[in-house]
Amino acid sequence: MRSLTHLNARSVGEACALLDEYGRRARLNAGGTDLLSVLKRGFLPDRPEAIVNLKTIPGLAYVAADEDSLRIGALTTLVTLAKSEVVNEEFKVLAEAARSVGTPQIRNAATIGGNLCQDVRCWYYRYPHKLGGAMDCLRKGHGGCLAIKGDNRYHCIMNGKGCFAVCPSDTAVALAALDARIKLAAPDGERSIRVADFFGPLRNALDANEMVTEIEIPRTARPSTQTFLKYTTRKPVDFAIASVASVVWKEGERCIDARIALGAVSPGPVRATTAEALLLGRRVDEESAVEAAEEALAGARPLSMNEYKVHVARVLVKRALLEEAD
């Protein structure tokens, strides 16, 4: 790896100021479990000129519950979330998603902010330049998406546009089902956006001088049942072929509210809102779960090699809902 500048940020303001100065030629580093791989493989169109270490910013790793919400600092590690008492009790779907990431060693280092901001896993995009030259694609700023005509078995089955790489984040799926918001800081202030709005086909919603500082999950008075299911070809160190996070509220046997989020099917987590609506007022049983699963994938437009993902995702939705029915 060629040398570049390494800087330790001492505050969020300082990190944002550095982003302002370097633009997209600076990369923020937290756990490093994605960034180091990105740098070693060397596939980015513009080599970064600066690495900004965020771990030197004090007070950005926390899980804090108040009356209305749970707030999670961007530097909170996945192992912390997987073990957090409040997360396991009230936001089980997030604890399960965090536990499903990578390996114990990765979860010890990787942060929730980094899990949300990690780059996509598309094998054309991540193909190392040194092995036979760069593979250009729209995500790198030149040409179209190579997956459309190529091997697209792991790519989008919905919402792809220009780029068909899926969102690799597991926690994003759980956070979408929990209706969480992401707080972004810039040199001139902060803004907060819904998790589902954070992701887009070509890049996330971060401006060049912005960084993720906090995740906020609303607390609900009524307890819910929550399930996260992730389908992978092997158990550890693997990204989802499809995943589902479900949060269901019941009154007696009837569903009074439901949130279902699909993962690894689209550039971001997708809320299956029509499937959610279909469950309202009904018992969650085999019949309604199968209907909801059909509805959740009704908008799927698979590519040439990934129709199987539609079936996998459908089964996951059904299983997630029925797991809650037990």
Partner 1 sequence: MEHADRIRLTVNGKVHDIEIGDRDDQVGPLETLAATLRERLRLTGTKVACDDGACGCCTVHLDGMAILSCMTLTVECDGKDVTTIEGLSDPKTGALDPLQQAFIDHTAFQCGYCTPGIIMSAKALLAENPRPTEEEVKEGLSGNFCRCISHYHVVKAVMSVVPPGGG
Site for partner 1 in 222-241 (CB under 8 A): 235-237
Q: What are 268's two structure tokens?
A: 């971001």
Query: Taking the CB of residue 186, how many other CB atoms lie within 10 A of it?
Result: 18
Selected from 5, 192, 274, 304, the binder of partner 1 by CB under 8 A is: 5
Q: Which residues contact 280 (CB under 8 A, 6 or more apart)?
A: 255, 256, 257, 258
Q: Least distance (Å) from partner 1 to the CB of residue 324?
A: 24
Integer Cα distance of 284 and 119 in angstroms: 36
| Closest by Cα among 36, 27, 33 to 5 | 27
Q: Least distance (Å) from partner 1 to the CB of residue 212?
A: 19
**How many residues at the interface with partner 1, by CB under 8 A?**
38
Question: Which H/E stretch holds residue 297?
Answer: none
Q: Select 1 or 221, whichever has its Cβ closest to partner 1.
A: 1
Residue 104, interface with partner 1 (CB under 8 A)?
Answer: yes
Residue 36, interface with partner 1 (CB under 8 A)?
Answer: yes
Q: Least distance (Å) from partner 1 to the CB of residue 234?
A: 10
Residue 221, interface with partner 1 (CB under 8 A)?
Answer: no
Residue 143, interface with partner 1 (CB under 8 A)?
Answer: no
Span interacting with partner 1, options 45-53, 175-183, 210-218, 311-319, rule CB under 8 A: 45-53
Q: Least distance (Å) from partner 1 to the CB of residue 56?
A: 7
Span interacting with partner 1, options 3-11, 113-121, 262-270, 283-291, rule CB under 8 A: 3-11
Residue 131, interface with partner 1 (CB under 8 A)?
Answer: no
Selected from 23, 45, 105, 190, the binder of partner 1 by CB under 8 A is: 105
Selected from 20, 24, 42, 55, the binder of partner 1 by CB under 8 A is: 55
Instruction: Determine contact, residues 112/171, Cβ cutoff 8 Å.
Output: yes
Q: Select 86 or 237, whichever has its Cβ closest to partner 1.
A: 237
Selected from 86, 89, 103, 192, the binder of partner 1 by CB under 8 A is: 103
Residue matched to tokens 């089902």: 177
Q: Least distance (Å) from partner 1 to the CB of residue 163?
A: 23
Residue 88, interface with partner 1 (CB under 8 A)?
Answer: no
Selected from 20, 24, 25, 53, the binder of partner 1 by CB under 8 A is: 53
Integer Cα distance of 260 and 210 in angstroms: 29
167 half-sphere exposure, CB direction, 13 A CA radius = 33
Q: Buried b / exposed e across 105-134, counting CB within 10 Å, b at 16+?
A: ebbebbbbbbbbbbbbbbbbbbbeeeeeeb
Selected from 72, 93, 94, 106, the binder of partner 1 by CB under 8 A is: 106
Integer Cα distance of 245 and 20 in angstroms: 36
Q: What are 274's two structure tokens?
A: 């029509």
Distances (CA, A) of 254 to 166, 178, 295: 34, 20, 19
Span interacting with partner 1, options 50-58, 86-94, 143-151, 276-284, rule CB under 8 A: 50-58
Q: Buried b / exposed e across 188-201, counting CB within 10 Å, b at 16+?
A: eeeeeeebbebbeb
User: Which residues contribute to the site for partner 1 (CB under 8 A)?
Assistant: 1-10, 14, 17-18, 29, 31-33, 36-37, 39-41, 51-53, 55-56, 79, 102-106, 108-109, 235-237
